[in-house]
Amino acid sequence: MMMTKNKITFFSRFEEDIVKGKKTITIRDVSESHFQPGQRLCVSTYETDRLFAHIRVLSITPTPFSALNERHAQQENMTLAELQQVIKEIYPQETDFFVIEFELLDEPV
The active-site residue out of 5, 9, 24, 26 is: 26
In the residue annotation, 76 being an active-site residue is answered as yes
**CB contact at 8 A, 87 and 65:** yes
23 belongs to the catalytic site? yes
d(CA 104, CA 55): 5
- Active-site position among 23, 48, 88, 89: 23
Rounded Cα–Cα distance for residues 51 and 82 (Å): 26
Burial class (CB in 10 A: 0-12, 13-18, 19+), 18: buried
- Give the active site residue among 15, 24, 61, 76: 76
Are the beta carbons of 35 and 13 closer than 8 angstroms? no
Q: Which residues are catalytic?
A: 23, 26, 76
